[in-house]
Amino acid sequence: MWFGGNGLSRYDGKSFQNFTTKDGLPNNGIKAIMEDKTGKLWIATWDGPCFYDGKTFTVLKDKDGKVFKNVWSIIEDEKGNIWTTGSINPPGGSVWALSRYDAKSLYNKKPAVTEILSRPPAFLGLLEANDGSIWFGSGGGVHRYDGKTFTDFKK
């Protein structure tokens, strides 16, 4: 079992093992944890998304090579792509991005990332629906991205 809070902790049924920035975690503030189909652990932190392969933490960056700040959500879709929500420009600021990391390049030194949408207000929760569409929440409502079009659901 994995737990986040002030660092990342793993409980194996007998004891806890704790991971912090000293172990390579980008930030001890954990927002979300998800295990992908290959067994890698994806962590959303205050200082960007990262994955843990059982040995090392690898921090993912945006299309300009900068680390996202205040990452709130991370999921894996049916195709193996990883999606994140986090603030950009300025880091920790009022513009947020919904981003997709391409499954084919996820474990390369520079995985391909596409900013699907960037705008205020904050993008928070994130989930793939059965039809493959991506749903996410924001300070302005709930939104759906079907791969081509965004639909905003207000109140």
The average confidence (pLDDT) of the chain is 88
pTM of the model: 0.83
User: Which domain range does residue 60 map to?
Assistant: 2-153
Q: How many domains does the chain have?
A: 1
pLDDT of residue 91: 58
At residue 48 the predicted structure's pLDDT band, cuts being 50, 70 and 90, is confident
Confidence of residue 155 (pLDDT cuts 50, 70, 90): low
What are all long-range contacts of 38-43, with beta carbons under 8 Å and residues at least 24 apart?
41/2, 42/74, 42/76, 42/82, 43/4, 43/8, 43/74
22 DSSP assignment: G
Higher pLDDT: 85 or 155? It is 85
Using DSSP, state whether 78 is helix, strand or coil: coil
What is the CATH number for 84? 2.130.10.10
Instruction: Dump pLDDT digits (tens) for 57-89.
Output: 998 877 777 777 788 889 899 999 999 888 876
- Do residues 87 and 96 touch, judged by C-beta distance below 8 A? yes
Averaged pLDDT, 29-43: 91
